[in-house]
Amino acid sequence: MKKILVTGGAGFIGSNFCNINKDLYEITALDNLFLGDRDNLDPDVRFIEGNACNLKDLEKVGPVDYVLHLAGTSSAPMFMNEGFVDGYVNSVESFCRTLEWARKNGTKRFCYASTSSLYGNNPMPLMENQHVRPLNHYAVTKEVYEHAGECYNRVYPEMDIVGFRFMSVYGPNEEAKGKFANIISQFAWDMQRDLSPIIYGDGTQFRDFTNVRDVVQGITKAFEHEGQIGADVFNIGTGESSSLNEIVEALKKAFEKDIEAKYIPNPVKEGYIKGQHADISKIQSTLGYEPTVKLADGIKEQVENLRPEKIRQTSSDDFR
Ligand SMILES: NC(=O)c1ccc[n+]([C@@H]2O[C@H](COP(=O)([O-])OP(=O)(O)OC[C@H]3O[C@@H](n4cnc5c(N)ncnc54)[C@H](O)[C@@H]3O)[C@@H](O)[C@H]2O)c1
């Protein structure tokens, strides 16, 4: 069985990856629990509480065949005000430290999270070969990952370095992210408490909402791919988009509750992304990825698995 390290393994995407793949790989989840929760992980997934910026913590893992680097400062608002310096340091240092550790330990393939935020308000559908100009510091860190990964692979071609531009990911295990969680979680937490979800603007803004199980599928396809990949990046999305108004309607159905959204003027003045619609043909043709989870089914499943007692901060209308 192949060995794999998942940094940020107790977080939202990381824990879903570990739990789904625990019988396929011998997995070690490394997480400093900044936004992760040990309880997100199945008890039989090996867990190390540690920092991916810290070589001593990485060395506790032992050699692995693959690395999935998800640790880092995982959303744009975390870089605001006091978070600016620490946000950059945590993301860039954890990436470089883990990359270097992986190569020195003979890792064959290093996969990492980039982001669709890189596209800003580019023309749609969003394609990997578009020129990108990040609108916020969070997206800049991911652009750094992509460039650093490409340079690194030129010097050390023996380790593939593969980035994923995830679209808007939703699904279970987001409670520990609190106010940094996806809008679907935020809305669901509000509606579960019979509160109106708060929409910025008129609710026509749209995202390519992608179920975390499909995200895990895409990443797994990259690890399982035969032959060299080199350094490359792939969108992971569904190729379809839904508006926030449609999300509220789907949640109303799933909860069987008639709660209307509350509309307020959009307080985000700069860098607000109006729409997101991915072109997924590259990952389909190269890795054989196909989205499988229909939005209505994914939302229903999420509603059935909410764990309100685990929400780290109360839901708020910040950062939408
Ligand atoms: N969720 C999305 O929609 C989405 C979209 C695009 C990209 N991403 C990226 O995917 C990755 C995973 O996202 P997520 O939604 O699961 O976020 P998350 O915050 O739940 O996961 C990140 C995990 O990393 C841990 N962590 C942070 N810094 C660490 C460090 N230095 N050492 C060890 N652990 C550390 C946190 O405790 C957390 O558990 C992130 O890099 C994020 O930027 C997420």
Quote the ligand 1 centre to 93 CA distance (angstroms). 14
d(CA 207, CA 119): 13
> Is the CB of residue 178 less than 8 Å from the CB of residue 311?
yes
For residue 40, give Cα distances in angstroms to 14, 35, 100, 168, 209.
Answer: 9, 11, 28, 20, 21
CATH class of 3-169+209-236: alpha beta
For residue 59, give Cα distances in angstroms to 70, 91, 237.
Answer: 18, 19, 34
53 lines ligand 1 (CB under 6 A): yes
- pLDDT at residue 81, rounded to an integer: 85
CATH 3.90.700.10 fits 172-208+240-276+294-310, yes or no: no
For CA atoms 191, 193, 195, 201, give the dihedral sign. Answer: negative
- pLDDT at residue 269, rounded to an integer: 78
Residues 6+ apart with CB under 8 A from 54: 97
113 lines ligand 1 (CB under 6 A): yes
Q: Where are the domains of the chain?
A: 3-169+209-236, 172-208+240-276+294-310
71 lines ligand 1 (CB under 6 A): yes
Q: Among this protein's residues, is 152 annotated catalytic?
A: no
> Quick one: DSSP state of residue 312?
S
Q: Which atom of ligand 1 is nearest to the CA of 11?
A: 39
90 lines ligand 1 (CB under 6 A): yes
29 lines ligand 1 (CB under 6 A): no
Q: Which two tokens stand for residue 274?
A: 């109006």
What residues pair up with 139 in beta bridges, in sequence order? none
37 lines ligand 1 (CB under 6 A): no
Which parts of the chain register pLDDT below 70? 313-320
Active-site annotation holder among 119, 138, 170, 289: 138
| pLDDT tens digit sequence for 64-97 | 999 999 999 999 999 988 899 999 999 999 999 9
What is the reported pTM? 0.97
d(CA 267, CA 184): 19
Quote the ligand 1 centre to 237 CA distance (angstroms). 17
- pLDDT at residue 82, rounded to an integer: 87
For ligand 1, mutation pick of 32, 70, 75 (most atoms within 8 Å of CB) = 70
Quote the ligand 1 centre to 73 CA distance (angstroms). 6
- pLDDT at residue 314, rounded to an integer: 47
Quote the ligand 1 centre to 311 CA distance (angstroms). 16
CA dihedral 104, 108, 112, 118 (to 10 degrees): 100
Q: Which two tokens stand for residue 227?
A: 């032959």
For CA atoms 164, 167, 173, 179, give the dihedral sign. Answer: positive
Instruction: Spell out the long-range contacts of 52-59 with Cβ–Cβ below 8 A and sequence spacing 24 or more.
Output: 52/7, 52/8, 52/94, 52/97, 52/98, 53/89, 53/90, 53/93, 53/94, 53/97, 54/97, 55/97, 55/101, 57/30, 58/5, 58/30, 58/97, 58/98, 58/101, 59/101
